[in-house]
Structure 1
Amino acid sequence: MDTLYLTDLLGTGVFAVSGTLTALHKKKDLDILTLFIFAFVTAVGGGTLRDIIIQAYPVAWISDANYLLVIITGLLLAVACRRWWLGFLHRPLRVFDTLGIGIFTILGLEKALHVGVNPWAAVLLGIVSALFGGVIRDTLANETPLVFERQLYATPCLTGAVLYVMLLQAGLHATIGFLLSVAVITVFRLLAIRKGWSLPPIRG
Structure 2
Amino acid sequence: MLKIAVFSQKGGAGKSTLAVHVAVAAARSMQVILIDADPQGTVVSWAQDRQAVDPFVARVEPSSITQLLEGATSEGFELAVIDCPPHAAPGTTALLRAADHVVIPCQPTMPDLSATARSVALARSAGRGYSFVVNRAPARAPEVMQAIEALGGGGRVAPIVIGDRRAYSRALTDGRAVTEFAPSGSKAADEINGYWDWLYEHVKEQAWQTQQAA
Shorter-normalised TM range: 0.3 to 0.5
State the TM-score, normalized to the length of structure 1.
0.34
Structure with the larger strand share: 2
Structure with the larger helix share: 1
